[in-house]
Chain A
Amino acid sequence: MTKEQIMTDVAAILRNFNGREYSGDIGPDTRFFGDLGLASIDAVVLGETLEEHYGRKLPFHLFMADLGRRAVRDIPLGELVVFLHQHLKNN
């Protein structure tokens, strides 16, 4: 699975996520909190949704722990895609 395919999947999920739509462009630079207006609980829920989508467990706690260490706590979707790409490839 390529990064582009994963990005397409993530964008499709976030286009209408938990009853909230997003009509703007969604790409690697789109920020989870700043642009999509989501919260940290939503990040956890997104992790579950992606696990369900790909049918396998993914170590989101590592990704979130890394996020927590950053000064600017936001996630460009490109980073999430890289994380997913790495773990989906390993599996």
Chain B
Amino acid sequence: MTLMLPSTPWIRAGSVSNETIGATPVPLATVACTAGSPLRWESEAFVLRGDDRFQLRQHVQALADFLIQKPSIGLKDLAFTLNTALAPGGSRLAVVAESTADLQARLGRAAERLADPRCKQIKDMRGIYYFDEPLHPQGKLALLFPGEGGQYLNMLRDLYPHFPEVRTHFEQCDRLSVQGGRSEPISRAILLPESATPEEHQRAERELWRLDNAIAAILIADWSIYQLLLNLGLRPDAIASHSAGEFSALTAAGCFEHNDTLIAELFALGRVLRQQEDDGEMPEYILLAASADHSTVAAILLDPGVDTFRSPDAVRVAMSNCPHQTILAGLPAAMSAVEKELSARGIVCERLPFSRPYHTPLFEPFLGPVAKMYEKLGVRPPQTPIYSCITGQLFPSDPEAIRRLSIEHWARPVEFVRMIETMYADGVRLFVECGPRGNLTSFVQDILRGRTFEAVAANLVHRSGLTQLNHMAALLAAHHVPLRFEHLYNRRDPQRIEWEASGAYKRSGSCHRGIRPSHSPNTAVMQQYLGVMEQFLDLEREVMEAFLAHRSGSRGANATPSVWPLVGEIIRHEPGRELVMRRRMDLAEDLYASDHTLGARNASAIDPTHHGLPFLPMAFSLEMMAEAASLLVPGKFVIGFRRVRLQRWVPFDDEPTTVELTARVRPEALDEVIVDIHDLGNAVCPGNIDSPAVTGTVLFGDHYPEPPPAENFPLTNEGPCRYTAHQLYEGEHRLFHGPLFQALVSTDRQGDEGIEGHLQARPHSGLFRSYPQPNLLLDPLLIDASTHLLGCWHLGRADQTGRVVLPYELGTVMVHGPRPAVGTKVKCRVRIERQSARQVSHRIDLLAPDGRLWCRLAPAEYWRFYWPLEYVDFFRHKERFLLGKRWPIEANVPGQICCMRVDPPDDLCQTVQRAALARVTLSREEWNLFRLLKVSDWERTAWLFGRIAAKDAIRALWFERHDQHLFPADIELEVGENGRATARYRGGALVEELPHVTFTSVPGMSVAAAAFHRDIRLALQHREGEWAAAITME
């Protein structure tokens, strides 16, 4: 079998869209829809149920009380717990909230309203929904598909990372749009980079209203939302649409089969019609929205006193949308006269941004391509009742009659008012708009004003996609519409909370599957116990030492250099002037490094010590500088640092490396020592003798400087933090720090200006092998942990990219007292002072328990890195996510053949970040080969990403067949000629052998193909500016 398929020109790394569309690799979620996302939702929906209204109110109050006791409870976990255990019927209250404080306020208001017997319903637009008489199941539910005019720039962008069905449909349409002749994927007409200028925005807006783009965009959005609603468990009793929404509506009703052919034909129709428009075959018409009903507008058109447009063909009613909107179409001169007349009568008019006279006889000359398209499509009787917006009645069931009506549709006026009236008469009470913007919802609300019904949009132009989805789900749940709420949490690592009305709760385990080393329960409990005991003894010992040191008054002064663990071999020492020393950086000695690993932790199910790439923490660089500089300025306190620059990260290698530190006293300021640290590396991992990795000045004093007066820390839009300390470390693996570094104990509040939390001074035992109780001049663990809180603020931001931040400069560090005793809780405040796309500037304050400033880092300058979201996912849970996407899609046969493509992102091709990725995707033996490679930079990237693609293909195929996740580092590849490789599982025998695999790379992409029990060959060929893959089975 040979497949030859062109590539899709996916958006390359570097463009902003890259994070959301083009280079987004397909995660396992597209296979199983179960993987987790790092993304936090800005709001959650909560549904409470009681057997009756009285019990419901009791539960509302109990939940409000519970939140007072547990203000840091995860809203996602609470929502998941409540909504996925919802019993049918009863009395229901649904609330949408953005924070615990929001939720408390809304529950309080709901309880108050429920106590009032006059209250029959609550429909508060902020997100409180309750109905004494819910509309379901007595009332039918209909889906309404909007047509052209519903599209808007960046629609669904915020749903894209969360819902694989949205992503998959965009990708399908991107592929088909390029195959159909577009120069770039259709998604580029919809999704604009966030960096776009106002001019680019305006241009894109105009383009989106061009005929082919408009039709394609609305089709993509309607169908993506339809798939999402189906996955959410919504099952319509009826379907209807407006104008071009009919394509999606007929497909959802079962009249068309949704496949590549249908999409390609619809895209082709758009292109043909646009060509007619571009060629001037279609005269330019004006479409005008008038804020009046059909009969009012028609009467004005027929008014004999209005003679400017007496010709009956000059102006036509194209759409009767609702009592407050009728659309007219006509030639420019006549329309200007109409507009003037309507405005003079106080009717609000707005010209629409397109010029096609759809839904009038003026469009009849252009129906040829529409008819031709229908000839190519098979039409079937509807499976779900579907209404026509031109007859206002149900569609016929005869396929030929459906075809005829669908063609006529384009030249007959839209009778939306009549259709909604018919649907209401037929028992429809719930209308859900299945598409973007929300126009149809407001039409229905206008048509049925004063009657019993509900209309809600799945998406609104003025509200975030996720929040509107929550509002829609909440409103429908309050009306007792059954929903499968699990879909909202599938990729979000939810934890079930055992909440009861009494307020008691406990967390139970994660809902995820995965391969983990198994321990007997008794062993695990004993290990935990011993760990806690050891920590307790360490803590007690250090508390005692801290107490004694404090009493003797020697604490903090640099009298005992022999115990400083980061001072190495002294090469040269001119007291009071200069010192040069070399320090071996050895993982066996520097135990802290293994808990500070780029690429995060837990890369293997077989080897629990297999983590990311260890590197020297900034705070340990400060400690090393302080220790060395103290040898030149004896008897004084380290009171701070100035201009500490991290030019390069200092990674640890499997073999020890060496750093060389030079310290010189400033002749003009004898209390200041200038320090450079060079990374000399080792034979395998060479450093750079020519330029320092770290530079800075250490400041000394006879005593600690008085701290500045305490300041308030007001926060705009203040709320609880998005993550707890536990979630950041172990709960959700948001940060890469191991247990030694986990000094952040609470995240208390955050707002636009920054974040506040508490750190706890930890024991320093266990940081160095040769120094069981090291005497450190600073507290690098506390300083490092202050940056964890900083990371928490960035992780909680709404923008979903650039959240990976790493330090590069500290302007000043000022220390105002000895380091806090072990066990002391230190308040930490991080202020965001400036930020741009690549850099963020912070001020970090650490406050002693008496409220005085102990240490300030300002400015703390950080780089932002743009890792595609799937890479962020992957680093958190390396067994559950892929880094590639399926390509060519047609070559994939579930459970048998998997073809994967990985496009290396720019940021992850940098030396240290690439090494971190290699460290967690390669087995130890492969990692050793990678370290020893003597190749060009590009070849090194290709070597790594080729293997990542191969392992992705194997893992995806294995999951499809065995429902089992594998870590890439647990798969070892032995590569033969032509990229064909033998894959071996390092954990022993599996139920069957891993699939055969082959892979290859070209600049910018690596491709792999895997198949069970059959040899598979793969070749890439470059044709007419595009890559094509040839896959051969033997």
Contact = CB atoms under 8 A, between A and B. Distances in A.
A36 B463 CA distance: 10
Contacts of A64: 291, 348, 350
Interface residues of A, number: 29
A39 B126 contact: no
A60 B348 contact: yes
A59 B460 CA distance: 28
B124 A22 contact: yes
A70 interface: no
A20 interface: yes
Contact of A44 (B202, B324, B461, B463): B324
Given A61-B346, A61-B349, A74-B462, A36 B443 contact: no
Interface residues of B, number: 33
Interface stretch (B434-442, B587-595, B955-963, B1015-1023): B434-442
Contact of B439 (A22, A39, A44, A57): A39
Given A39-B442, A64-B350, A33 B462 contact: yes
A42 B124 CA distance: 16
B804 to A, nearest CB: 30
Interface string A19-37: 1111110000001011011
A74 B463 CA distance: 12
A41 B123 CA distance: 19
Contacts of A2: none
Interface of A: 18-24, 31, 33-34, 36-42, 44-45, 47, 57, 59-61, 64-65, 68, 71, 74
Interface in B441-462: 441-443, 445-446, 449, 460-462
Given A21-B122, A21-B125, A61-B348, A37 B460 contact: yes
B1018 to A, nearest CB: 49
B928 interface: no
Interface in B265-317: 291
Contacts of A47: 348
B446 A21 contact: no
Interface in B344-371: 346-350
Nearest to B349: A61
Contacts of A45: 324, 446
B198 A71 contact: yes
A23 B127 CA distance: 9
B325 A41 contact: yes
Given A20-B123, A61-B291, 15 more contacts: A19-B123, A21-B123, A21-B124, A23-B124, A33-B461, A34-B462, A37-B471, A39-B438, A42-B442, A45-B324, A47-B348, A60-B346, A61-B348, A65-B349, A74-B462
Nearest to B291: A44
**What 10 A-B pairs have minimum CB-CB distances, sorted nearest first?**
A39-B442, A33-B462, A61-B348, A37-B125, A41-B442, A64-B348, A21-B124, A44-B291, A34-B462, A44-B324
Nearest to B441: A39
Nearest to A47: B348
A46 to B, nearest CB: 11
Given A41-B324, A41-B445, A22 B126 contact: yes
B609 interface: no
B343 interface: yes
Interface in B916-955: none
B176 interface: no
A34 B462 CA distance: 5
Contacts of A24: 126
A19 to B, nearest CB: 6
A3 to B, nearest CB: 23
18 contacts: A18-B449, A21-B123, A22-B125, A36-B125, A41-B325, A41-B443, A41-B445, A44-B324, A44-B325, A45-B446, A60-B346, A61-B343, A61-B348, A61-B349, A64-B291, A65-B350, A71-B198, A71-B202
Most buried by A among B291, B322, B343: B291
A68 B348 CA distance: 11
A61 B347 contact: yes
A37 B463 contact: yes
Contacts of A22: 124-126
Contacts of B123: 19-21
